[in-house]
Structure 1
Amino acid sequence: MSARTSSGPAVSRHGWAQALVTVLGALAAMGAVAALGLWAAGATDLPGDAFPQVVAATVVTAVGGTVKLSGDAGGLAGTEGGLAVIPLSVTLTGALVIGWGFLRPPRHHAVAGAPELGGWAARIAALWLLALLGLALAARHTFEISLGDGPLGDLGDLFGFRPVVGFAADVPLTVLIGLVWLAGVLLVSLMVSRGAPLPGGLLGFQASVRPAALAMVRLLLASVVIALVVALFVAATRGHPVETFAVMLLGLPNVAWLALTVGLGATWDGRVEGPFGLPMPQVLDEVLRTPDVSELNLGTLVEHDGGRWWWLLVADAVLLLTVAFVMAALSPPSVRIWQHAVRMGVALALTVLMICLMVRISARIGLSVLGIGDPGEGLSGEVLLKPRLWSALGLALLWGLAAGFTGASVAHATRRRRGGTGH
């Protein structure tokens, strides 16, 4: 890279190669995490050499793409299914790689022109579009289902049924949502990086938005790190290490960010039925495995498994106060305490909104022959998990206001004691 004021010429000469490295690096990292997680989950045993297609489907869903389930069991049989779940470990891996690659070329420049940043983002987007098309076309497969030795198996043998189920990515929707996901990753990267250059007209944004955005990213990453430590402890002390590693590699942020909202007092409605289940901790599956939709919150966790779950409340309070203090310390001294509180409240509410949209789960599959087998026979099941959105957002706003006010007060008092007037 040249050391001149604008990196435009250098990016123009080398932008496509750097964009290709960024996109391929993200795909390789996401594919590796997905493959290892699926291997730990036993997906290598799927029939028909379907493992590569399942890996592709996992990466597709990680960027918000849609994978549709389908089935064919003949005229006297019925199949139904649906799947909506995001493997956020894969998502987070891709976001970190793309964000790093996007910010690296212009990192030595204090100010970047809008055409420069726009051109650099467009190169990445063009290559990402091609990658999405390839992934969506590869994410399709069909499986033949064994009906077993019970009544379903007897009926299948009698009538010659060979039920098959399959999955296929919705190509147009996957491309559209995948591009929106990329735009979000690039925007958040600019928002949180203190070293990233901005066009001159957006420099005011640096002082007002970046500290809050950075605080929220640190909050999310810190919760994932804590969940990782807990997961490693569980794997080392309570057995089932392979299953635990499968959850870590596919859905650790799902668990961590769900716990973050529960610690804030949010309630999730859910149900677990059939052979499916929710990831660790096992208490989540136990609370929701009921005939009807159940509540998942601090109260039901404590009622079901003792008072140790109150530590979620304590952990959230410590994390929020810490990031609020750091946010205030990184902001200009001219920012008032009430402004910190408002910014923290809004930022936390937006973060919880993102969590609610990404962590929710809806999975359903059913198979019946002449009305037999749904539910029963281990071939049907459902997992549902959805937030009570407005109460979660209201609680996040209140927590953010309180933590922002307290953290800013401590930061201002510390700054006065040190006699500092700068950052």
Structure 2
Amino acid sequence: MSSRTPSDQAVARHGWPQAVAVVLAGLVAMGLTAALGLWAAGAAELPDGAFPRVVAATVVTAVGGTIELSGNAGGLAESDAGLTVIPLSVTLVGALVIAAGFLRPLRHRAVAGAAELAGWAGRIAALWLLALLALAFAARQTFTFSVGDETIDELGDLFGVSPKVGFETDVPVTLFFGLLWLAGVLVLALLVSRAAPLPPRLLRFQESVRPAAYAMVVLLLAYACLGVVIGLVVAVTRGHAVETLAVLLLGLPNLAWLALTLGLGVTWNGQVEGPFGLPMPHVLDEVLRGKDVAELNLSTLGEQDGRVWWLVAVDAVLLLAAAFVMAKRSPARMRLWQHAVHMAVALALTVLMICLVGRISAHYGLSVLGIGDLGGDLGGELFLDPEVWTAIGLALLWGLVTGFLGGLLAKPVRRRGAAG
């Protein structure tokens, strides 16, 4: 007869088989999202059966991995290329699935030992590193392509030095940032969920940290859901349904969370030149396209489309709702200035995260037979970078105001006692 307690049985339910299930579920969800998005973007037509490798590369970049681009054709052609962008739709899907799998065996318990939590997270991390290593070696491919000039293409075929471009993964960097991403997901999952246990030494922090963390996750997911609704409306009313689907499945949070920062008054500096472009909305491309660095903010966007000023109202409503949720989940003894400070710090950290993961950088240049400018869209550059310190300052200001007002609104309905 077994003498195990219910707590012991809960510990036994998150061993290696459960860790395998969590990692596989996360990878399958990310892989399917990336594959569908790339298919909608036309990547299924890539030559040499490259589609699965491009899917692997997309998953790698979604967790912070680095893909290195290269190209050459001996002495005939050389290329200089680089790409830095995180497909945040794939990132978000993976984070939600892995977080849910991590929390599932820990439900309905008030306290868990640090060793137990570390062991459960360590099993997931070990398997995650193995999976990342496999993806890193799978995410490499070389393509042979035409430069658009019949004479140069014939010379390349004659001498067997046709221009090639390829990509491969920086394995050490990918493993480091992939593990860092996983750690962030697991820690945030523990902070957000009231049903997840904490070590006894950390229980005193849950009253201030958990409600604020939960409110920020709700805010980000609300913007993502709003983006889905807008994307579906655009697909139905303006056509281009397949292209819109590609954006939703690959870069929806990139645009939705960019809109959040723009509504706060944040300025992003950027440039679009050559064949590159931003998928949607078109107004972003209109502001950034040119040979000079442009500012992307409410003022410059408003010159193209006055409707962007509605972003301020959307921000105000959703931030106030997030502050209300935070205050409602906080102890009744919490004072209004404390709600304001908690909201300000949480929003500042959230905006900082958006600034770090929302950067975009892409450039490509081709030189054939010493000719560096062949025309035909064979070179270009795109980048988008935020003014980080200004963004943090604006987030603190908005957080203080909405946190105070949210605390006032929640006062009549706030529950008694400490946070759960």
Alignment of 1:156-195 (within 5 A): 156=156, 161-195=161-195
Letter in 1 for 2:168: A
**Residue number in structure 1 paired with 2:311:** 312
1:387, CA displacement in angstroms? 0.5
Is the Cα–Cα contact under 8 Å of residues 365 and 380 in structure 2 kept in the other structure?
A: yes
**Residue number in structure 1 paired with 2:301:** 301
Instruction: Tell me whether 1:117 sits opposite 2:133 in the alignment.
Output: no
Is the Cα–Cα contact under 8 Å of residues 5 and 109 in structure 1 kept in the other structure?
A: no
**Residue number in structure 2 paired with 1:393:** 392
1:10, CA displacement in angstroms? 4.4
CA distance in 2, matches of 1:3, 1:393: 50
Letter in 2 for 1:361: I
Is the Cα–Cα contact under 8 Å of residues 57 and 136 in structure 1 kept in the other structure?
A: yes
1:301, CA displacement in angstroms? 0.6
1:296, CA displacement in angstroms? 0.6
Report the secondary structure of 1:61's partner residue: helix
Letter in 1 for 2:402: A
Alignment of 1:42-61 (within 5 A): 42-61=42-61
**Residue number in structure 2 paired with 1:290:** 290
**Residue number in structure 1 paired with 2:209:** 209
1:137, CA displacement in angstroms? 0.6
**Residue number in structure 2 paired with 1:347:** 346
CA distance in 1, matches of 2:192, 2:152: 55
Deviations 1:342-398 (A, max 9, x none): 110011000000000001001111111134353622121211011011111110111
1:76, CA displacement in angstroms? 4.2
Report the secondary structure of 1:68's partner residue: strand
**Residue number in structure 2 paired with 1:146:** 146
The Cα RMSD (Å) is 1.8
1:164, CA displacement in angstroms? 0.4
Deviations 1:165-185 (A, max 9, x none): 100001111011100100000
Deviations 1:399-418 (A, max 9, x none): 11111011112212x248xx
1:73, CA displacement in angstroms? 2.4
CA distance in 2, matches of 1:17, 1:160: 51
Is the Cα–Cα contact under 8 Å of residues 270 and 294 in structure 2 kept in the other structure?
A: yes
1:11, CA displacement in angstroms? 3.1
CA distance in 2, matches of 1:273, 1:155: 29
Instruction: Tell me whether 1:230 sits opposite 2:222 in the alignment.
Output: no
Letter in 2 for 1:108: H
CA distance in 2, matches of 1:13, 1:281: 47
1:160, CA displacement in angstroms? 5.7
Letter in 1 for 2:165: V
Is the Cα–Cα contact under 8 Å of residues 76 and 156 in structure 2 kept in the other structure?
A: no
**Residue number in structure 2 paired with 1:218:** 218
Is the Cα–Cα contact under 8 Å of residues 375 and 381 in structure 1 kept in the other structure?
A: no
1:156, CA displacement in angstroms? 4.5
Report the secondary structure of 2:70's partner residue: strand
Letter in 2 for 1:117: L
TM-score (normalizing by structure 2):
0.95
Deviations 1:6-55 (A, max 9, x none): 34x54346511110000000000000000000000000111111000000
Deviations 1:67-91 (A, max 9, x none): 0001112224321011110000000
CA distance in 1, matches of 2:148, 2:123: 52
**Residue number in structure 2 paired with 1:84:** 84
**Residue number in structure 2 paired with 1:383:** 382
Deviations 1:223-259 (A, max 9, x none): 0000100000000010110000000000000000001
Residue range with higher mean Cα deviation, 390-399 or 372-381:
372-381
Instruction: Tell me whether 1:97 sits opposite 2:92 in the alignment.
Output: no
CA distance in 2, matches of 1:224, 1:68: 29
CA distance in 2, matches of 1:17, 1:378: 50
Structure 1 unaligned spans of 5+: none
CA distance in 2, matches of 1:263, 1:14: 42
Report the secondary structure of 1:47's partner residue: coil
1:151, CA displacement in angstroms? 6.9
1:198, CA displacement in angstroms? 0.6
CA distance in 2, matches of 1:219, 1:256: 11
Moved over 6 A (4+): none
Is the Cα–Cα contact under 8 Å of residues 366 and 375 in structure 1 kept in the other structure?
A: no
**Residue number in structure 1 paired with 2:334:** 335
Letter in 1 for 2:164: V
Report the secondary structure of 1:287's partner residue: helix
Instruction: Tell me whether 1:6 sits opposite 2:7 in the alignment.
Output: yes
**Residue number in structure 1 paired with 2:263:** 263
Is the Cα–Cα contact under 8 Å of residues 152 and 373 in structure 1 kept in the other structure?
A: no
CA distance in 1, matches of 2:373, 2:6: 67
| Cα distance change of structure 1 residues 277 and 343 upon mapping to structure 2, 3 Å threshold | same
| Cα distance change of structure 1 residues 371 and 173 upon mapping to structure 2, 3 Å threshold | same
Is the Cα–Cα contact under 8 Å of residues 14 and 105 in structure 2 kept in the other structure?
A: no
1:291, CA displacement in angstroms? 1.1
Letter in 2 for 1:136: A
CA distance in 1, matches of 2:199, 2:268: 41
1:152, CA displacement in angstroms? 5.0
Structure 2 unaligned spans of 5+: none
Is the Cα–Cα contact under 8 Å of residues 344 and 400 in structure 1 kept in the other structure?
A: yes
1:273, CA displacement in angstroms? 1.4
Is the Cα–Cα contact under 8 Å of residues 107 and 195 in structure 2 kept in the other structure?
A: yes
CA distance in 2, matches of 1:76, 1:17: 53
Report the secondary structure of 1:167's partner residue: strand
Report the secondary structure of 2:321's partner residue: helix
**Residue number in structure 1 paired with 2:240:** 240
Is the Cα–Cα contact under 8 Å of residues 364 and 380 in structure 2 kept in the other structure?
A: yes
CA distance in 2, matches of 1:73, 1:393: 46
**Residue number in structure 2 paired with 1:136:** 136
CA distance in 1, matches of 2:295, 2:110: 50
| Cα distance change of structure 1 residues 3 and 338 upon mapping to structure 2, 3 Å threshold | farther
Report the secondary structure of 1:379's partner residue: coil
Report the secondary structure of 2:143's partner residue: strand
